[in-house]
C-alpha cells in the first residue's frame, strides 16, 4: 500500500464525482479540510512526572451544519488518520441527511498504559486545549475507538466549567445521567443491523444458514455480533486486538461477551449463570479471520484491514463495513472484480452519528425520548437511506459505495449551490 490514508480516501470520492452533477465550486471546496488543529496536551502523571501528548481535531466541512465526529485514543493516531476520518464523517452525515458537517479528533497514545486518573486528566486537558474550537453550534465530539461514555462525560463537564454554563449538547455519547441518549451505546451496531435487514433480503439470504465473522469486539463489534446471534445468524468467528476464535458450529456470543467483560479476553465459551466452560474451537489470527469462507464478513476494528495484499484471498460473499475505512481503494477494486458485495462504512456505521444527532436534539430541547422512540427513528432513517442508495446503485449500475458517495455529494452540492453558483452570479452581472 502506498500514499497516505487521506489520498486513498480521496480516490473513493474521485470515482463518485463523475456520477454526480456537482458544481466545480463544490468539488473545489471538498478537496481540503476547513480547519485542522494540532494541540500539545500536558498531563501530570501518577508518578509526579509531566508528559505531553499530541492531540488533533479536524473540521472537514460545515456546509450542511455544525461539524460532528468522534475522538479516538490510539497509538497510531495521526493528522492524516484524523483528517481521513473527518472526511468520511462529512459524507456520512450528508448520506444520512443529518444537519451536520464532518469532523474527527484523536490523541496519540495507548490508553491501556494510563491509569484512570491519568485518563481523566488527559481528557480534560484535551478539552482545555480545544475549548475555543468546539461547541453545540460549532463542532460536537463523540466517542470512537478506546473512548467511552465516561470520557465523553468528563469532556462535557470540562467544557461546561470553562464556559461557566452546563452545556450537554457540546458532546454526544455521554452517560444517560449526564444527558446521554438511550440507545446511543448500541446505536452503531443497531444501525448496521437495520442496513443488513433492509438490504440482505434483496439477495435472498436466510438468516439461519448464514455464517458471519466479526473482526473487533468493542462497542460496535460486540453489539453487532450479539444482535446477529439473537436474530438467528450463525456467528462463527470473533476477534479483538489479541487474536480471534473460530467454531464452525457457531459461537454463543452472549457467553463470549460475558467472559470478555470479566476477563478482558475473547474465548470460545458457553456460560450458565456465572459459570463459563470452554467449547470446541480453533484459535486463529486476525488475518485468518478476514480470509474465512463465510457468507458475511464484518470488519469492526480499524481502517486498512483489507488491501491489495489480502483482497484476493477474501472469500466472504458480503462485507459490511462497521469500522471506518476497513477496505482501502485498491482492495475495494479487487473485491468488486471478484463480485463480493461491499456495503460501505458511510452508510453501514452511520447509526452512531444518527443517534448522536438525536442526543444533540434532545439536549437542545431538554426533552428526552424513550428507547423505543430512539430505535424506531433510527430504523426509519437507516432503512430510508439504505433504500435510496440501493436504488441509485441499481439505476446507475455502480457499486453501493459509489452510490453512497453520489447520494452524499448530491446533498452537499445542493447546500453549496444554495449559496450561489458561478452560473447564478454571472447571469446577474
Which residues sit at the interface with ligand NAD, rule CB under 6 A? 143-146, 188, 215-221, 239-241, 286, 300-302, 322-324, 349, 352
Q: Which residue is nearest to ligand NAD (CB)?
A: 218
Cβ distance to ligand NAD smaller for residue 220 or 382: 220
DSSP string across 173-238: S--GGGTPPTTSTTHHHHHHHHHHHHHGGGGT--GGG-EEEEE--SHHHHHHHHHHHHHT-EEEEE
In this structure, what are the phi and psi dihedrals at residue 158, rounded to the nearest 5 degrees? -65, -45
Cβ distance to ligand NAD smaller for residue 56 or 146: 146
* HEC-encoded secondary structure of 22-62: CCHHHHHHCCCCCEEEEEEEEEECCCCCEEEEEEEEEEEEC
Residues whose CB falls within 8 Å of the CB of residue 163, separated by 6 or more in sequence, listed in order: 131
Please report how close the Cβ of residue 204 comes to ligand NAD at its closest, in angstroms.
Answer: 28
Taking phi first (over 0 means left), then psi (-120 to 50 degrees means alpha), and beta for anything else, what does residue 175 get?
Answer: beta
Report the candidate in 310, 355, 25 with the shortest Cα–Cα distance to residue 188. Answer: 355
| 104 is an active site residue | yes
Q: How far apart are CA 94 and CA 320, in angstroms?
A: 19
Q: Are 177 and 156 in contact (CB under 8 A)?
A: no
Cβ distance to ligand NAD smaller for residue 26 or 171: 171
Please report how close the Cβ of residue 42 comes to ligand NAD at its closest, in angstroms.
Answer: 25
Task: Give the distance, in angstroms, between the CA of residue 83 and the centroid of all CA atoms in the same chain.
Answer: 14
CB atoms within 10 A of CB 134: 23
Q: How far apart are CA 144 and CA 349, in angstroms?
A: 12
Cβ distance to ligand NAD smaller for residue 145 or 398: 145
Report the candidate in 355, 359, 393 with the shortest Cα–Cα distance to residue 377. Answer: 355
CB atoms within 10 A of CB 60: 26
Cβ distance to ligand NAD smaller for residue 89 or 335: 89
Largest CA distance in the chain: 78
Cβ distance to ligand NAD smaller for residue 55 or 413: 55
Cβ distance to ligand NAD smaller for residue 9 or 416: 9
Please report how close the Cβ of residue 257 comes to ligand NAD at its closest, in angstroms.
Answer: 11
Q: Are 87 and 117 in contact (CB under 8 A)?
A: no
Please report how close the Cβ of residue 189 comes to ligand NAD at its closest, in angstroms.
Answer: 9
Pick the catalytic residue from 15, 92, 104, 381. 104
Please report how close the Cβ of residue 162 comes to ligand NAD at its closest, in angstroms.
Answer: 25
Q: Are 96 and 352 in contact (CB under 8 A)?
A: no
Please report how close the Cβ of residue 355 comes to ligand NAD at its closest, in angstroms.
Answer: 8
Please report how close the Cβ of residue 350 comes to ligand NAD at its closest, in angstroms.
Answer: 7
Question: Would you name the residues annotated as active-site residues?
Answer: 104
Amino acid at each position: 500500500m502506498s500514499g497516505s490514508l487521506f489520498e486513498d480516501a480521496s480516490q473513493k470520492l474521485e470515482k463518485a464525482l463523475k456520477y454526480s452533477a456537482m458544481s466545480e465550486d463544490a468539488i473545489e471546496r471538498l478537496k481540503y479540510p476547513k480547519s485542522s488543529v494540532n494541540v500539545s496536551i500536558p498531563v501530570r502523571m501518577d508518578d509526579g512526572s509531566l508528559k505531553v501528548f499530541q492531540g488533533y481535531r479536524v473540521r472537514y466541512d460545515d456546509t450542511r451544519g455544525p461539524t460532528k465526529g468522534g475522538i479516538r485514543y490510539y497509538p497510531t493516531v495521526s493528522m492524516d488518520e484524523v483528517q481521513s476520518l473527518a472526511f468520511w464523517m462529512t459524507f456520512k452525515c450528508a448520506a444520512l441527511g443529518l444537519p451536520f458537517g464532518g469532523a474527527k479528533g484523536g490523541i496519540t497514545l495507548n490508553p491501556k498504559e494510563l491509569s484512570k486518573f491519568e485518563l481523566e486528566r488527559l481528557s480534560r486537558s484535551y478539552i482545555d486545549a480545544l475549548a475555543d474550537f468546539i461547541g453545540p453550534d460549532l463542532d460536537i465530539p463523540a466517542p470512537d475507538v478506546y473512548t467511552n461514555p465516561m470520557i465523553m462525560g468528563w469532556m462535557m463537564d470540562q467544557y461546561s466549567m470553562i464556559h461557566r454554563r452546563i452545556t450537554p449538547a457540546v458532546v454526544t455519547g455521554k452517560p444517560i445521567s449526564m444527558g446521554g441518549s438511550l440507545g446511543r451505546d448500541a446505536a452503531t451496531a443497531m444501525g448496521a443491523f437495520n442496513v443488513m435487514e433492509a438490504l440482505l433480503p434483496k439477495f435472498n439470504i436466510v438468516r439461519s444458514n448464514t455464517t458471519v465473522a466479526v473482526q473487533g469486539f468493542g462497542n460496535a463489534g460486540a453489539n453487532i455480533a450479539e444482535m446477529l446471534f439473537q436474530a438467528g445468524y450463525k456467528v462463527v468467528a470473533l476477534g479483538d486486538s489479541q487474536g480471534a476464535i473460530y467454531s464452525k458450529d457457531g459461537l454463543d456470543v452472549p457467553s463470549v461477551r460475558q467472559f470478555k467483560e470479566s476477563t478482558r479476553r475473547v474465548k470460545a465459551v458457553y456460560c450458565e449463570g456465572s459459570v463459563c466452560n470452554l467449547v470446541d474451537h480453533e484459535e486463529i489470527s486476525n488475518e485468518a479471520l478476514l480470509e474465512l469462507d463465510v457468507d458475511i464478513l464484518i470488519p469492526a476494528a480499524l481502517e486498512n484491514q483489507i488491501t491489495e495484499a489480502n483482497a484476493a484471498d477474501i472469500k466472504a460473499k458480503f462485507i459490511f463495513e462497521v469500522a471506518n475505512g476497513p477496505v482501502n481503494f485498491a482492495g475495494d477494486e479487487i473485491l468488486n472484480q471478484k463480485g463480493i458485495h461491499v456495503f460501505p462504512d458511510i452508510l453501514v456505521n452511520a447509526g452512531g452519528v444518527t443517534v448522536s444527532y438525536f442526543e444533540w436534539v434532545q439536549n437542545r430541547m431538554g426533552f428526552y425520548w424513550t428507547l423505543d422512540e430512539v430505535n424506531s427513528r433510527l430504523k426509519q432513517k437507516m432503512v430510508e437511506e439504505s433504500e435510496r442508495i440501493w436504488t441509485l446503485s441499481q439505476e446507475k449500475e455502480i457499486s453501493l459505495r459509489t452510490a453512497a458517495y453520489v447520494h452524499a455529494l448530491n446533498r452537499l452540492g445542493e447546500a453549496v449551490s444554495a449559496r450561489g453558483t458561478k452560473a447564478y452570479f454571472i447571469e446577474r452581472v
